[in-house]
Structure 1
Amino acid sequence: MLIDAHCHLDFPDFDADREAVIERARVAGVVRFVVPGTTRERWPTVLALGERDDVSVCLGLHPYFMETHRDADTEALARALDAHPDVVAVGECGIDARFAETLGAQWSLFDAQLRLAKERELPVVIHCVRANDQLAKRLRQLALPAGGLIHAFAGSPEQARKFLDLGFVVGLGGAATHERAKRLQRAVKSLPDDGYVLETDSPDMPLAGHRGERNEPARVAEVCRVVAALRGQAVERVAEASTTTATRLFGG
């Protein structure tokens, strides 16, 4: 039994065959999907997916789409969180340091969302690229009561430990399956059983051997096999650990 703890099933990439994608995931043993919001425009589609029994949803403003966000979106997010108590987390939000020209605006938007999560005691789903140390420092300052998920973690064992000590877990996906990801694989081996969840980031973050293909939630089973091999554990143990942690973080 698996949970894909981070997949964008609302994206247009799945409009032509969304039900078939979900069925393939079910055949692969995936029983639940956590779908984060990325822009205000996409929230209605995310919320509609959340009406399914097997989908949990988050709402947030993603740093990759800074050009689409407006000043009013943070207040709109606050209203949406209050209007939809079934939303399980704030996100996807965070910092992407690849885009230096928007970095200041990213931090302002991120801080606003962290405050919303703290006020509502919700976990946070965080996108973090090339900013693990700065992010850990900010999270330590804010002391979020419900912790959250460092999605698509790609850092070192030491950075993973910092996040775990702050009450967060890390998301393991396609990046861990690539042979060149030695530092990340060392981190995967170092994690406690309750320190990670499995995810795909579908349709993005392709696994090794699937470059150029659309990713989809069924492949979380392949992520599970790779993580189990890296950790020297049974696939069943890794699946159970991830599912238990995702349920603890996002609710049952």
Structure 2
Amino acid sequence: MPQFANDQAEVLERMKSAQVTKAVVVATEEAEIAPVLTLARENDGLYAAFAVSPQDEALPDLTEEEIVLRVQDPKMVAVGETGLDYHYCQEPLDWQRNRFATHIRAANLANKPLIIHSREAACDTLDILKANGAQNCGFVLHCFCGDWDFAKKALDLGGYLSFSGIVTFRSAQDIQEVARKAPDDRIFIETDSPYLAPVPLRGKRNEPSFVPHVAQFLAQLRGKSIEDIAALTMQNANRFFRI
């Protein structure tokens, strides 16, 4: 990402200092695949994922077979992020729904799990996940920002939930309810860097070293120690991404 072009080495060093040992770096268009894979190959604990962004209609679509070819590298651990965004994108959105369905089918063919982006599109997200067999390859709702009803239906499909800095925001009551109720074996933590820095760093450029603030907040919500949250979310991520 260009936001990290000038201090990438320092960001990775701070990540290690914060005891964040693994991260997935996402390529959202074909041009990003090579640099993301290079970064993952050159750094232990970094992994890659790829899908065509659901937020940019202008990006060229790929066939299922083309996506499968692009995620074959062992360092490519997921297809994503893919999904629906009804906040920034306006109807007609058949292109977005079709792109999403293609990514799900490709993930099944590639035997890779899905990283799902869903914003203000809960019902359609669930419908497309079910219709295209996402429960077979596995999926995580990344940067979860829905309510318990959405979360419960996703969990019933076998999905995982990943919590970002949003969960620490005072206004995020629905997300905090989900973060309290979700089962221990279905939750991750993430940054969504460079966006959504957690309290008390809100407004800054987000980076992996900030993720312990999310872990600490989840620990308080769930009545656990930060060490417990770190251990169980790492175990879940390792199992999901098969790393």
Query: What is the TM-score with the length of structure 1 in the denominator?
Result: 0.90
Determine if contact 2:14/2:209 at 8 Å carries over to the other structure.
yes
Q: Which has the higher contact order (CA 8 A, sep 6+)?
A: 1
From 211, 223, 231, the counterpart of 2:214: 223
Residue matched to 1:107: 97
Determine if contact 1:35/1:58 at 8 Å carries over to the other structure.
yes
SS at match of 2:71: helix
Residue matched to 2:38: 48
Determine if contact 2:164/2:189 at 8 Å carries over to the other structure.
yes
Residue matched to 1:7: none
Report whether the alignment pairs 1:168 with 2:162: no
SS at match of 2:98: helix
Q: What per-residue deviation string (whole Å, max 9, x for no partner) do you get for residues 73-126 of structure 1?
A: 7654232124x2431110111110121146221111111111100112210001
Determine if contact 2:140/2:162 at 8 Å carries over to the other structure.
yes
Determine if contact 2:37/2:75 at 8 Å carries over to the other structure.
no
CA 1:71–1:237 in structure 2 vs 1: closer, same or farther (change >3 Å)? closer
Residue matched to 2:179: 188
Residue matched to 1:202: 193
* TM-superposed deviation, 1:133: 2.1
Determine if contact 2:191/2:207 at 8 Å carries over to the other structure.
yes
* TM-superposed deviation, 1:213: 1.3
Report whether the alignment pairs 1:159 with 2:159: no
Report whether the alignment pairs 1:141 with 2:120: no
Residue matched to 2:25: 35
Report whether the alignment pairs 1:58 with 2:49: yes
Report the Cα distance in structure 2 between the residues aligned to 1:164 and 1:43, rounded to whole angstroms.
Answer: 30
Mind listing any 5+ residue stretches in structure 2 that lack a counterpart?
none
Report the Cα distance in structure 1 between the residues aligned to 2:51 and 2:80, rounded to whole angstroms.
Answer: 4
Determine if contact 1:36/1:58 at 8 Å carries over to the other structure.
yes
Determine if contact 1:146/1:167 at 8 Å carries over to the other structure.
no
Report the Cα distance in structure 2 between the residues aligned to 1:112 and 1:158, rounded to whole angstroms.
Answer: 26
Report the Cα distance in structure 2 between the residues aligned to 1:140 and 1:112, rounded to whole angstroms.
Answer: 13
Residue matched to 2:120: 130
Residue matched to 2:13: 23
Determine if contact 1:172/1:199 at 8 Å carries over to the other structure.
yes
> 4+ runs of 1 displaced by more than 4 Å?
72-75
Determine if contact 1:96/1:131 at 8 Å carries over to the other structure.
yes
Report the Cα distance in structure 2 between the residues aligned to 1:210 and 1:73, rounded to whole angstroms.
Answer: 40
Determine if contact 1:169/1:196 at 8 Å carries over to the other structure.
yes
Q: Which amino acid aligns with 1:247?
A: N
SS at match of 1:100: coil
Mind listing any 5+ residue stretches in structure 1 that lack a counterpart?
1-10
Q: Which amino acid aligns with 2:185?
A: D
Q: Which amino acid aligns with 2:139?
A: G
Report the Cα distance in structure 1 between the residues aligned to 2:63 and 2:129, rounded to whole angstroms.
Answer: 22
Report whether the alignment pairs 1:238 with 2:206: no
Number of residue equivalences: 240
SS at match of 2:209: helix
- Percent identity over paired residues: 32
Q: Which amino acid aligns with 2:166?
A: A
